[in-house]
Amino acid sequence: MLKNLLFFFLLFGLVIVNGKRPHSTIHVDPSASASSFKTVQSAIDSVPSNNSHWVCISIKHAIYMEKITIPVDKQYIYLKGDGNKRASIVWGNSGSINSSPTFTSHADNIKVENLNFVSRARVKQAVAAMVTGDRTAFYHCNFSGVQDTLLDAMGRHYFKHCIIEGAIDFIFGAGQSIFEECRIVVNVGSSMGAGNIGCITAQGRAGANDSNAFVFKNCNVTGNGKAILGRPWRGYARVIFFNSSLSDVILPQGWDSWFYTGSVNQLTFAEVKCYGPGSNTSNRVAWETQLSQEMADYFANSNFIDADKWISNQPH
């Protein structure tokens, strides 16, 4: 029994950091010996089903040409890029938003740090990352694609110091999410053809009582070409840009009603205390939402995603 416990501690490197709950660590290194996994997916596969303790998967800087999925029954996984340079997860599927993602996370209680997620497909729908699990946080991660880069599908999510790049509807879904101090990069390149207009968000709130929304707090919107801030994927879409820098990549009208021209009163598209050359709201669509201070504070507060109840329990 004692020998088995010693083996467990040696294999998984059990540590306690900053007084948080203990977590074990396994390593991914494509050039290492048998003591490390050579692919990220094989490391994820090694985590027991119905896991209830944090497992850190430390990923050495490299380019990993693989599709990755965290299944719904493998919670408490902490994917962490090792070192100053980010490891990159790269794939090139296009087509279905459900089959194309380079990275898919279905489980609750996931933390991801210091990784790049890249879709190499340059046309059609090609998702770099899809997140359907609850209580998921990303720090210092890059998401790169063209159309439908980040499918923030459902659940409470937190993105901080991330870079999200794309051209068309490149942050979309029905997640209840805060993007804080992130860089949003519009890249309407020549491959899209002259005169094309980009779109940053396509939010998918479907009902008046649904709690989800995309909140961009203290973000920096930049890039090339021209784009709108968002359009509704579903009829009660909610997107708020709060205290964010908007470059002149943003078109004066700001938003588009897409298929919901007759029900714009159901949409919540708002800008609060934004600044920069693209923040002038004098020529915005007439139906842009004017939030009260109380509502602006509600969306900008971390309590909107109940962050105090779960982020503090994640490993560091």
Cβ-based burial of 78 (10 A; exposed 0-12, middle 13-18, buried ≥19)? buried
Contact partners, residue 277, CB within 8 Å, separation at least 6: 246, 247, 248
Contact partners, residue 122, CB within 8 Å, separation at least 6: 146, 191
Name the E strands within 114-167. Answer: 115-119, 129-131, 136-139, 142-144, 150-152, 156-160, 163-166
Query: What backbone torsions phi and psi does residue 36 show, to the nearest 5 degrees?
Result: -120, 155
The residue annotated as part of the active site, out of 134, 148, 152, 256, is 148
d(CA 44, CA 198): 35
The residue annotated as part of the active site, out of 73, 82, 152, 169, is 169
148 is catalytic: yes
* DSSP summary character for residue 238: E
Give bridge partners of residue 80 from the DSSP assignment.
58, 113
Helix or strand (DSSP H, E) at 9: helix 2-12
d(CA 172, CA 1): 50
Q: Identity (one letter) of the amino acid at 51?
A: N
Instruction: Quote the tokens at residue 165.
Output: 């790049």
| Residue position matching structure tokens 């101090």 | 181
Q: Which has the closest alpha carbon to 67: 126, 123, 112? A: 126
Residues assigned a catalytic role: 148, 169
